[in-house]
Chain A
């Protein structure tokens, strides 16, 4: 069965370290998204991609970067982790803008 996975599921890191969160989907979806979820803020879009080599900044992109070298993967990199980036991160994918987004299980990141 097609699915979307995230790794790691939990991560503790220190301020200033570079961290990469992986997202892999097997639906062959063109669209992929990264969100962070914090209490009181709901889900906020960090970056999104509508195809290979296409990446776009979302609402809260400062301090984050993504690259899309193939259809299946959209890794999210925190260049220099900050305590404000402690959050739950969700990756999602969709076939097109007219279709539902399928969410991965999430990664809980703690920056100490």
Chain B
């Protein structure tokens, strides 16, 4: 039930772009994205509900393809502050449970 994230880790230079993918084997009701800095709690980035929507927040955006049960997080012109571990969280249609992926470690270097 746990969604699969890819890549597991990525290193970027400031200004470069990155894409993080989240894929589920179950039909999804919603997808959440969170970022966690080392030693801190996860912080919400955005939520996408069924309907194949796309959302954006400054230079971070995401898409949700409910037919493929996939979501992607797009980080453009990365900044040092983007470093952290990114988690997707998924709510499947049956059971009302919430599952987080194993995370993608993103490191932005000068």
A contact residues, range: 20 to 34
Cβ–Cβ < 8 Å partners of B97 in chain A: 45, 48, 56, 58-59
The range of chain B's interface size is: 20 to 34
Binding site for B on A (CB under 8 A): 33, 35, 40-45, 48, 50, 56, 58-59, 90, 97-106
Task: Report yes or no: B98 in contact with A48, Cβ–Cβ below 8 A.
Answer: yes
B: residues with CB less than 8 A from A are 1-2, 29-30, 32, 34, 40-44, 47, 49, 87, 89, 91, 96-103
Known: A98-B47, A99-B47. A45 touches B99 (CB 8 A): yes
Closest CB in chain B relative to A1 CB, distance in Å: 16
B87: min CB distance to chain A, Å: 6
A-B contact pairs, 24 of them (CB 8 A): A41-B102, A42-B2, A42-B101, A42-B102, A42-B103, A43-B87, A43-B89, A45-B98, A45-B99, A45-B100, A50-B96, A58-B97, A59-B97, A90-B42, A97-B30, A97-B96, A98-B30, A98-B47, A101-B34, A101-B44, A103-B41, A103-B42, A103-B43, A105-B41
